[in-house]
Amino acid sequence: MNILKSPNKMKFVSLVLSLIGLWLMLNSPELGSRSASSWVRSMGGSVDSQEYLQMLKEYISTYKTLGGIFLFVGLFSFLNNHHQ
C-alpha cells in the first residue's frame, strides 16, 4: 500500500505541500524575524544593527525560497497527477 500510487492521496499530499509553501511565503517576515532574534541571542544578545538587518533579510529570503519550492512542487505534482 504505497501512498504515492493512489491518485487521490497523492492529490491530497500535493495540496498540503502547496499550502505549507504558501504559508511559509506569507509568514516569511514573521518567521525571519524570529530566526534573526534567535541568532542574536546565540551571539550573546548584541550585534551590529547592519549585521542584524542583513541576517533578517537573509532569513526572510530563505523562508520565501523554501515556501516557493514547496508551493511549486506541490502545485506541479497536483496538476501533473490530475492529468494522468
Asked if the model's pLDDT at residue 1 lies above 60, the reply is no
| pLDDT 10s digits, 35-72 | 999 999 999 989 999 999 999 999 999 999 999 999 99
Residue 45 Rama label (left phi>0; alpha psi -120 to 50; beta): left
Residue 64, C-beta contacts closer than 8 angstroms, at least 6 positions apart: 24, 25, 28
Amino acid at 60: I
User: Average pLDDT in the 7-32 region?
Assistant: 93
